[in-house]
Structure 1
Amino acid sequence: MTTRDERIARIVAAGCRAPSVHNTQPWSVRVEDHGHLTVRADPSRQLDRCDPQGREMFISCGAFLLNLRVGAAHEGLDAHVQLSPDPDDLLLAARVTLDDRGAPSTFDPALFRALTSRRTVRGGAAARPLQSPDVERLRRAVVLEHADVVFLGPHDAARGRLVSAMRRAEALALGDDALLAQDRSWLGVSRDRVDGVPVDAMGGWFRESVVDQHSLDRDVASGARTFETGATSALLTTPQDGPRHWLVVGQALERMLLVATTRGIQASFATRVLENPATRAEVERAFHLDSRAQVLLRFRYGSGAPFTPRREPDDVIRAGSHGSHDQGAAPDRDEDRTGRSS
């Protein structure tokens, strides 16, 4: 007979399949009594050079939360998620209650199957625009998680300004030795690691981190040049910035990626342009947004990209009692310190 601890371990394993910036997997889980989980950001896995506020770290944690919900539904449990960014505990992401007394949340079983088959595409494979019904499916997935999305077709007038901003962000990053050194510690790593992006998953453009300095700029391969093609791109947005908004958009992102996987669609990310405050603002102006740009990605029909490794649940689950705090410096915040999720 399956024990509750075994079910929780499987749910956490589902969470661990979430995408994360540089495959840092910046989350930890504390299992409390009676099926209560506390999800926290792990500051030891924060990319402090390119992500000093923790925006990408919390987006990654949001994707983890969505997968927890899908994994719980697969186990016949309803996962009630309360987003809990707290000015007194800046690493706290959410409190999750697993309930087996009510009907599980409504998730298509295909989304659980997509957890293990979803892949991030790296490199510049040719792609054609998505079909309109698929674009609408992806839009609905984002809206269901209370975020918004703007799609960009091959002839959209904003594409030129977007590519220009991406090129500028890439050029600026290449002059930042500390940022490139941080990239080097996570990209093109050995398959023996349980985190980071292995060299064989880098799309063929990455050769050797010591002698091939320019290849350390991940968006040269998966960024501006590929966004010049005829593929469909998407920009996920939220009304404001802050931990709660980042967690919301992370869940929206992962639901969209899982729906895309069920349709034979893969995605590649362009993160650099939104990491630089100046080029992020330029992207927002290009799309005439009165909201904040959070995630930029490009789609293609296809399958077969290399997988990236994941930590085991035992490495993610922390022992301890309710209310105890993980140690570590919290990232800076500039907005939305009091937000709560219903």
Structure 2
Amino acid sequence: MSTRSSVITPPGPVDVAAVLGAGALAPSSHNTQPWRLRWRDGAVEVHGDPERALPVADPEHRELRMSCGAAIANVRLAVRAQGRRAHVRLLPDADDPWSFARVTVGAPLAASALEQALAHAIPHRRTDRSALSGLGLTPGVREEIRRAAQREHSWAVFVDDGARRGSIQELARRAHAAQQADGAFRAEWDRWVGTADDRGGGLTRDVLRRSARPDGRWLLRDFGAAGDPDDERPAARTDDPALLVLATTLDQPLAHLQAGQALQHVLLLGTVRGLAASFVAPPLEVADTRASLRSLLGGALWPQAMLRLGVRERAVPRPSRRVPDGSG
């Protein structure tokens, strides 16, 4: 009786364009895309782009670093999906505060089924601001999300208690009101939201509202176009998503990059499991409400992002993206 041996063909050259393109599909505030992705000497270099910073909403560049962390996560997954190891070095240049990561392509290593699924989900992930139902999050999916965050040195805290959810809603309203009363914030918003062409970043819409939508307790920033019949929803429509806070034990650049990778891992896992997500950003962008949110979480963790998670109403389009830098 003879036996047949299987021959595993090693992967070919890395598809650099696919890796850079995956990195460019990371989420960012107002779709600013505040990163520079470059292929050099067998690695992807991820740099922050200060020209795409939000100095009013994000004066410490925390959200910018998280967006770049999400881009790093996408690059890692794209490399793994091509059957290669991905060696990540965060903050590789101590003399350059905008040098966030170097992801080196390593030896062949087959990707796991989950890594393949997450990589496949990258172009399908969307920020979905429609009303969501949190009933789609089973205990098993919640545990998957917690473990995904922990692998990236972060904590996924689900806020289920009604009193705490009510307190966070009040923080969101306070933060939103403070931002809308700030002329500098409104000017920054006008630069990035409602642009005529989003090929350079930003969010395009003919008409935008800054007021809260009538159907959502969490959707305080309304990016929907007034008069768009697809965006008109009755006031009785309920928005009762699961509420997730991603947090870290420290609040420094390395932790922000790690939280960004955790954020993208959670978003992609949600996409694979059929869930939609969007951000509840205002409470984390105003210093006093972020401090209050930290207290509500027990005072030991720093909140880095807050998400609505649940079953979506309808598919949403993806905004266009800038072309990565390529080789340099």
- TM-score category of the 2 structures, normalised to the smaller one: 0.7 to 0.9
Q: CA deviation at 1:193?
A: 2.7
Q: CA deviation at 1:20?
A: 1.0
Q: CA deviation at 1:192?
A: 5.3
Structure 1: gaps of 5 or more residues? 200-206, 320-342
What are the residue-to-residue correspondences of 1:1-342 with 2, within 5 Å? 4=13, 7-33=15-41, 35-84=42-91, 87-99=94-106, 101-104=107-110, 106=112, 107-123=114-130, 125-129=131-135, 130-153=137-160, 155-191=161-197, 193-199=199-205, 208=207, 214=211, 220-221=220-221, 229-302=239-312, 304-313=315-324, 316-317=325-326, 319=328
Q: CA deviation at 1:220?
A: 1.4
Q: Which residue of 1 aligns with 2:230?
A: none
Q: Which residue of 2 aligns with 1:324?
A: none
3-state DSSP of counterpart to 1:158:
helix
Go from structure 1 to structure 2 and tell me whether the alpha carbon gap of 1:43 and 1:291 turns closer, same or farther (over 3 Å shift). same
Go from structure 1 to structure 2 and tell me whether the alpha carbon gap of 1:179 and 1:104 turns closer, same or farther (over 3 Å shift). farther
Look up the equivalent residue of 2:44 and give its one-letter code: L
3-state DSSP of counterpart to 1:253:
helix
Q: CA deviation at 1:128?
A: 3.3
Distance in structure 2 (CA, Å) of the matches to 1:240 and 1:17: 27
Distance in structure 2 (CA, Å) of the matches to 1:290 and 1:135: 21
Distance in structure 1 (CA, Å) of the matches to 2:77 and 2:162: 34
3-state DSSP of counterpart to 1:157:
helix
Per-residue CA distance 1:248-305 (angstroms, 9 max, x = gap): 0000010111110011101010111101110000111112131111000111213512
Go from structure 1 to structure 2 and tell me whether the alpha carbon gap of 1:215 and 1:4 turns closer, same or farther (over 3 Å shift). farther
Normalization by structure 2: what TM-score? 0.83
Could you say what the CA RMSD is over the residues aligned between the two structures, in angstroms? 2.6
Q: CA deviation at 1:37?
A: 2.7
Go from structure 1 to structure 2 and tell me whether the alpha carbon gap of 1:87 and 1:279 turns closer, same or farther (over 3 Å shift). farther
Q: CA deviation at 1:82?
A: 0.7
Distance in structure 2 (CA, Å) of the matches to 1:22 and 1:147: 24
Go from structure 1 to structure 2 and tell me whether the alpha carbon gap of 1:90 and 1:318 turns closer, same or farther (over 3 Å shift). farther
- Contact 2:92-2:102 at 8 Å conserved across structures: no
Per-residue CA distance 1:224-269 (angstroms, 9 max, x = gap): x9xx943211000011111100000000010111110011101010
Distance in structure 1 (CA, Å) of the matches to 2:64 and 2:92: 13
- Contact 1:122-1:221 at 8 Å conserved across structures: no
Distance in structure 1 (CA, Å) of the matches to 2:274 and 2:175: 31
Normalization by structure 1: what TM-score? 0.80
- Contact 1:85-1:244 at 8 Å conserved across structures: no
Look up the equivalent residue of 1:144 and give its one-letter code: R
- Contact 1:38-1:95 at 8 Å conserved across structures: yes
Go from structure 1 to structure 2 and tell me whether the alpha carbon gap of 1:49 and 1:104 turns closer, same or farther (over 3 Å shift). farther
Higher Cα radius of gyration: 2
3-state DSSP of counterpart to 2:163:
coil
Per-residue CA distance 1:166-188 (angstroms, 9 max, x = gap): 11101111111111111111112
Distance in structure 2 (CA, Å) of the matches to 1:93 and 1:65: 9
Go from structure 1 to structure 2 and tell me whether the alpha carbon gap of 1:86 and 1:13 turns closer, same or farther (over 3 Å shift). same
Distance in structure 1 (CA, Å) of the matches to 2:164 and 2:222: 19
Q: CA deviation at 1:214?
A: 4.4
Matched length: 299
Q: CA deviation at 1:198?
A: 2.5
- Contact 2:132-2:309 at 8 Å conserved across structures: no
Look up the equivalent residue of 1:208 and give its one-letter code: V
Distance in structure 2 (CA, Å) of the matches to 1:115 and 1:134: 19
Structure 2: gaps of 5 or more residues? 1-10, 224-234
Distance in structure 1 (CA, Å) of the matches to 2:109 and 2:190: 46
- Contact 1:28-1:317 at 8 Å conserved across structures: no
Look up the equivalent residue of 1:81 and give its one-letter code: V
